Chain A
Amino acid sequence: MAKITFITTDNESITLEGTSGSVMQLAVDNDIPGIDGDCGGVCSCATCHVHVKPEHMEKTGMASEIENDMLELDDNVNEYSRLCCQLEISDVLDGVELQVAERD
Chain B
Amino acid sequence: MEKSKLSDPFEKARLEKGFGEMNDQNDPVTMLLRLKDVRKGAHNWKAFQSGAEPGRIVVPSEVNIRDVRQIPFEVDPPEHKSYRDLVEPWFKRPLEDAYKEKLTAQISEIVDEMLSKDTVEVVSGFSLRLQSRALTLLLNTSYEEAETWISWGTHVFRSEGEALDGDKANILYDYIDAQIDKAIDNPGNDLYSKLIASEVNGKKLTKEEIKGVMILTFAGGRDTVINAVTNSIAYFAEHPESLERIKNEPEITGKAVEELIRYFAPLTHMGRVVTKDTQVCEHAVKADARISLCWASANRDASVFENPNEIVLDRKLNPHVSFGFGTHNCLGATHARQIMKILLETLANKVKSIDIIDFKENIEDLDQFERKVGYDSIHVKFNSL
Contacts and interface: CB of A to CB of B under 8 A. Distances in A.
A associates with B: yes
**Interface of A (DSSP majority class):** loop
B188 interface: no
A92 interface: no
A40 B255 contact: yes
Interface stretch (A11-19, A41-49, A94-102): A41-49
Interface string A54-83: 000000000010100110010000000000
B257 to A, nearest CB: 8
B329 to A, nearest CB: 8
B334 interface: yes
A39 B36 contact: no
Interface in B250-280: 254-255, 257-258
Residue of A41, A43, A44, A104 ringed by the most chain B CB atoms within 10 A:
A44
Contacts of A70: 319
B316 A42 contact: yes
Contact of A42 (B40, B318, B326): B318
A1 B327 CA distance: 37
Nearest to B334: A38
B36 A44 contact: no
Interface in B340-364: none
A66 B255 contact: no
Interface in B312-340: 315-321, 323, 325-327, 329, 333-334, 337
A64 B319 CA distance: 12
Contacts of A73: 39-40, 43, 325-326
Contacts of A40: 254-255, 257-258, 337
Contacts of A69: 36, 39, 304, 319
B39 A66 contact: no
A69 B43 CA distance: 12
Nearest to B253: A40
B228 to A, nearest CB: 15
A104 B319 CA distance: 19
A39 B39 contact: no
Contacts of A39: 258, 318
A18 to B, nearest CB: 16
Contacts of B304: 66, 69
A2 B327 CA distance: 35
A44 B254 contact: no
A42 B317 contact: yes
Nearest to B92: A36
A66 B319 contact: yes
Contacts of A38: 333-334, 337
B326 A43 contact: no
A44 B320 contact: yes
Contacts of B43: 73
Given A73-B39, A73-B40, A42 B327 contact: no
A40 B326 CA distance: 17
B254 to A, nearest CB: 4
B113 to A, nearest CB: 29
Given A38-B333, A69-B36, A69-B39, A44 B326 contact: no
A66 B304 CA distance: 7
A28 to B, nearest CB: 10
A40 B252 CA distance: 10
Contacts of B40: 73
Contacts of A66: 304, 317, 319
Q: Which 5 A-B pairs have the closest CB atoms?
A: A40-B254, A42-B318, A73-B43, A42-B258, A44-B319
9 contacts: A40-B258, A42-B255, A43-B318, A44-B319, A44-B321, A66-B304, A66-B317, A66-B319, A69-B39
Given A73-B39, A104-B326, A104-B327, 18 more contacts: A38-B334, A39-B258, A39-B318, A40-B254, A40-B337, A41-B254, A41-B255, A42-B254, A42-B255, A42-B318, A43-B317, A44-B320, A66-B317, A69-B304, A70-B319, A73-B40, A73-B43, A73-B325
Interface of A: 38-45, 64, 66, 69-70, 73, 104
